[in-house]
Copies of this chain bind each other. A is one copy, B any other.
Amino acid sequence: MKKLKIGVLGATGAVGQEMLKILEEYDIPVAELRPLASARSAGSLIRFKGQDVAIQAATDESFEGLDFVLGAFRLEPDVPLVVPEINGADAFDNSGLIANPNCCTIIALMAVAGIARLSPIEKMIVCTYQAVSGAGQAGIAELNSQMAALANGEKPEVRTFAAQIAMNVIPFIDAPYGNDYTKEEMKMQNEGRRILHSPELKVNCTCVRVPVMRSHSIAVTLHTKEKVSVADARAAVAAFPGVRLIEDYEGRCYPTPLDTTDQDLVWVGRIREDLTDENGLTLWCCGDQIRKGAASNAVQILKLLAEKE
């Protein structure tokens, strides 16, 4: 792989910081690293591969001369949405921009993509248990400060989330979409259709914030066109790259979000028949929101593109 000039937009955020860490971990050959952030952070030093690098204020000229820029982009209709293990080939059909899908979409689709190769998934009912890191540093800080307040017998302050998140759960993430679902919930269908190349896919999603630091957990019930047996589904999940099937982990048949923290694999367990649907399966998955849900997926896309050049 040739040495790359890489920009990281939002280099001081939770995902940006993890991207820097993962660029090192994956041993991506870097000719120049350009960390970009708001003017407020300009001049601060970050450590990358043993060197101090100054953060620059992001401006229109910040991308000049770079091979790749990593960061959070809004979804444009023409930008490919890529999860390398699922639809890596789509990454090559780009006009300069490639987007990371939503974190829950990445984790849920990683869990079910092996099954979708056995028979197309037509419908999914999804309930999420989402970590506070999905709201960035502010979300992490809010859970930490509320936990500390409770431990001291004080009343927790609510700033970032709509209600107290410590010792509570909040069944509403992002803004209303206009159909009684939230924008976050509709991404599972809208992005899922594009990533799985299934324009008819129907998804009913309920997104819920839970007091967990940085791994999302997701319960998925799916309906396939032809029946897929539990045994075949387990084999397909186990064989899928980037996924770990949990049938016995410390005596448990399931992962928890603490288990999947600070690593890249999506762990899947509790694969079983849907008792309400002949062609249905139900499963449970967990994945690190900051890593595979965001930073690692982006660096994996970069790696995929760079290796083909």
Q: A residues touching B (Cβ–Cβ < 8 Å)?
A: 123-125, 127, 129, 143, 147-148, 150-152, 162-164, 167-172, 179-181, 189, 202-204, 206, 208, 210-213, 217, 219, 221, 223, 230, 250-254, 256-259, 269-277, 280, 282, 284
Contacts and interface: CB of A to CB of B under 8 A. Distances in A.
A105 to B, nearest CB: 15
A171 B206 contact: no
A210 B124 CA distance: 23
Nearest to A165: B256
A171 B258 contact: no
A124 B164 CA distance: 29
Given A169-B256, A170-B254, 13 more contacts: A147-B151, A151-B151, A168-B256, A168-B258, A169-B257, A171-B217, A171-B270, A179-B272, A180-B272, A204-B221, A204-B275, A208-B217, A211-B211
A208 B284 CA distance: 10
Contacts of A250: 163
Contacts of A280: 204
Given A206-B282, A206-B284, A171 B272 contact: no
Nearest to A220: B206
Contact of A275 (B171, B203, B274): B203
B219 A254 contact: no
A167 B147 CA distance: 10
A257 to B, nearest CB: 6
